[in-house]
Amino acid sequence: MKRRKIWIILIVPILILAYLLTCLGFFFFEPISYHAPDLSADAKYSFDQYQNFAYKKNNSFYIRTLTPEDIEESPDDPRMKYVDNTIMAIADESATFSQISSLASDCGATVTGYIEVADFYQFTFSELSYFDILKKCSDMEKSDLIEVAFPDYFEETPLADTDDEARSINNAYYYSMIHAQDAWKYAENAEPIIVGTIDEPVDYNNPYITVVNQDLYSTDCFEDLSYGTSHGTHVAGIIGASPESESPGICPNAQICSYNGVSISLSFLIATFADIITQQNVKVINISMGYNSYIPVSASLGCESTIDFIRSENDFMAAFFDRLIDNGYDFLICVAAGNTNGKSLYKTASSVFGYSEKKILRKLDKLNLFSDKPEYCDAAYSFLLTDIQDEDIRRHIVIVGSCDEKYRYSEFSNAGKSVDLVAPGENIYSTTLGNEYGYASGTSMATPFVSGTAALLYSLDSSLTAKEVKDILIQSASQTVSAYGFTYPVLDSGAAAQYVTEKKR
């Protein structure tokens, strides 16, 4: 009897100890897990899209065409992927193509990409390890001919909508929140305007959305409507679905210039920006995507290697945009703040990004003994455009957070001082694939309200600068929302359109 009592007394601490030892085992030994893209599947509208720039190839604009076999995993962290044997650079403005070609030859490379308007070069080597690439970048930056050199990272870019199913709200609360009826009244005499989207391709068969660059698509992108999601079409509808649509866009005179942004290399993204801004003369670009969640969460938790990675990417993009601005191009990029707020990750023993999603441990660790979660996920770390430090370039970027129908900051929306503006992003009804409609939530849905409004302002007064449009969007707000010690203006499309119309008179 006494032995039974002893076992009963001991069994609870033994079970607790076994539980803790099991959790500790998975904490240290469970491999890093994350939602990696299937590169062969993504080839359907990712890698094939590189051919679009090959078709346009000329002496001043071209990049290397990639295949899935060109993408490698970094030995530092399997989540960091890069283009094999490739380096990108922004050259000094005084450097000539001949000088850069000679420099490349001296380094054992050839020039396989060149965008003259941005002094952008892509170099391909015969055989370089990842660490060799980093060293070559450092060596190149020592030359007076190179301003900045950088690996051609392959960006796994999740779209900035939530995993939660949006609920149906048929009253379209967001139209009244941003005074869309007033904005549409001013839009009646506005000029047509092209808005760029870097997202999933937009369904150009939708009768309520005008896509001006259908020739850029592989036709099989839309043969199977079950492939992919409706994200790009949903975003495009919020921007500019025609008034006849069940869900009209905020800028009914907008036309969409659509580019793929899903799982692409930095060189492809840069070529996309160069094409959309310099060749298509687009002034407003919507980006409703961002980093995989482990990157902004890791950075928000203070992982220095993650922060350094983000800032180095932002610095390279800043150097690129600086050249476009110096050459007289004006543009406004509206970027989603991201939806990783409130997400917790587990500490990773040794990796660039410092934290990981561990599926088995998450199921075992009911008490969250091992997970880490920041107070809020900083929107500055959401993407390679959200932590640009140069104030002149920041005037060309609007970072958009999300709120609900009661002017409450969305729980999923990343926050911080970098957020410029908030728009409704919960339960938004818009166009989807196959001429259908659906609800979605996320900063993906908030951002196109801002992009559409910016486009409307440009269409009302084409002489506006990006800085003026950004200022009007922010200063015309009549409501604010507060979260985590920050107060943000809420988009008022009607007031912004009224201001521009009256000012022009």
> What are the pLDDT digits (tens) for 331-357?
999 999 999 998 999 988 778 999 988
Distance CA 340, CA 160 (A): 9
> Residues 249, 355: one domain?
no
> Residues 74, 214: one domain?
no
Q: What is the DSSP string of 155-180?
A: E---BSS-SSPPPP-TT-HHHHHTTH
User: Is this structure's pTM higher than 0.85?
Assistant: yes
Under 8 Å between Cβ of 197 and 257:
yes
Q: In this structure, what token pair is assigned to residue 134?
A: 């980093």
Q: Determine the distance from the C-alpha atom of residue 160 to the mean position of all C-alpha atoms in its chain, rounded to a whole number.
A: 7
Count of C-beta atoms within a 10 Å radius of residue 42 = 18
pLDDT tier at 227, thresholds 50, 70, 90: very low
**Predicted pLDDT at 163:** 59
> Residues 110, 210: one domain?
no
302: left (phi over 0), alpha (psi -120 to 50) or beta: left
Contacts of 360 (CB under 8 A, 6+ apart): 26, 30
Lowest mean pLDDT among 73-77, 168-172, 328-332: 168-172
Q: Average pLDDT in the 233-262 region?
A: 93
**Cα(first)–Cα(last) distance of the chain, in Å?**
96
Residue 200 lies inside a defined structural domain of this protein: yes
Q: What is the pLDDT of residues 15-39, one digit of tens each?
A: 788 888 888 888 888 887 776 666 7
Residue 111 lies inside a defined structural domain of this protein: yes
Distance CA 33, CA 17 (A): 26
**Domain final residue, candidates 375, 400, 435:** 375
Residue 161 lies inside a defined structural domain of this protein: no
Q: What is the pLDDT of residues 429-483, one digit of tens each?
A: 999 988 889 999 999 999 999 999 999 999 999 999 999 999 999 999 999 999 9
Residue 164 lies inside a defined structural domain of this protein: no
Contacts of 308 (CB under 8 A, 6+ apart): none
Mean pLDDT (the chain) is: 89
Q: Average pLDDT in the 303-332 region?
A: 96
**Predicted pLDDT at 226:** 46
- Beta-strand relationship, 332-336 and 284-287: parallel
Q: Determine the distance from the C-alpha atom of residue 201 to the mean position of all C-alpha atoms in its chain, rounded to a whole number.
A: 14
Break the chain down into helix, strand, coil percent, rounded to 5: 40, 20, 40
Under 8 Å between Cβ of 199 and 272:
no
> Residues 481, 491: one domain?
yes
Domain count, the chain: 3
> Residues 93, 186: one domain?
no
The dihedral over CA atoms of 49, 55, 61, 63, expressed in degrees to the nearest 10, equals 40
Per the listing, tokens 């370039």 go with 393
Residue 165 lies inside a defined structural domain of this protein: no
Give the 3-state secondary structure of residue 308: helix
Structural domain range at position 422 = 173-340+378-504
Distance CA 113, CA 66 (A): 12
Count of C-beta atoms within a 10 Å radius of residue 379 = 30
